[in-house]
């Protein structure tokens, strides 16, 4: 079934016009501008992260496995920043990129069975 939630998941998985948008973040931002009618200058990382929560995209990450992956990624990035003598800052941009990375790895189909029903989308369909 096509929903805003599954559109966002598909954008995170790379189903957007990659010639027009340089990253999933840019595609998500354009999607949010198109469907909410907000002015582009009001859509930043914080707004995109809030949109994720408003649409309940994080429900895709409710399993223990994905929660642990996010925690592990946070710990890994923090440890790497210590190793590289860099500041580690959990910013809105960092969290948006973390969510995009995690959502891009979600398995939507097992064999012929849909785990997350994306059957209404045609092969090669771009969300935006």
The mean pLDDT of 59-76, rounded to a whole number, is 76
The mean pLDDT of 3-27, rounded to a whole number, is 92
Structure tokens given for 48: 């995109």
Contacts 24+ apart (CB under 8 A), 22-26: 24/100, 24/104, 25/96, 25/97, 25/100
Q: Which of the four pLDDT bands, split at 50, 70 and 90, describes residue 109?
A: confident
pLDDT at 14 over 90: yes
Report the pLDDT value the prediction gives residue 113, as an integer from 0 to 100. Answer: 87
Q: Residue 98 in contact with residue 70, Cβ under 8 Å?
A: yes
Helices (H) and strands (E) in the chain, counts: 5, 2
Q: Which phi and psi (to 5°) does residue 11 adopt?
A: -60, -45
- What is the greatest pairwise CA distance in the chain? 48
Report the pLDDT value the prediction gives residue 64, as an integer from 0 to 100. Answer: 58
Q: Residue 26 in contact with residue 77, Cβ under 8 Å?
A: no
- Please give the model's pTM, rounded to 2 decimal places: 0.79
Q: How far apart are CA 57 and CA 60, in angstroms?
A: 6
pLDDT at 63 over 70: no
Annotated domain spans of the chain: 4-114
Report the pLDDT value the prediction gives residue 22, as an integer from 0 to 100. Answer: 95
Report the pLDDT value the prediction gives residue 23, as an integer from 0 to 100. Answer: 94
pLDDT at 99 over 90: no
Q: Which of the four pLDDT bands, split at 50, 70 and 90, describes residue 79?
A: confident
The mean pLDDT of 7-16, rounded to a whole number, is 92
Burial (CB count <10 Å: 0-12, 13-18, 19+), residue 36: middle
Of 93 and 16, the structure prediction assigns the larger pLDDT to: 16
């Amino acid at each position: 079934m096509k929903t805003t939630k599954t559109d966002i998941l598909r954008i995170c998985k790379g189903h957007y016009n990659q010639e027009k948008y340089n990253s999933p973040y840019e595609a998500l931002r354009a999607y949010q501008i198109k469907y909410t009618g907000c002015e582009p200058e009001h859509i930043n990382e914080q707004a995109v992260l809030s949109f994720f929560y408003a649409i309940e995209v994080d429900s895709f990450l409710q399993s223990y496995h994905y929660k642990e992956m996010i925690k592990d990624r946070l710990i890994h990035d923090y440890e790497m920043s210590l190793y590289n003598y860099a500041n580690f800052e959990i910013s809105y941009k960092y969290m948006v990129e973390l969510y995009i990375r995690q959502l891009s790895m979600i398995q939507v189909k097992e064999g012929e069975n849909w785990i997350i029903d994306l059957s209404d989308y045609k092969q090669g369909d771009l969300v935006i």
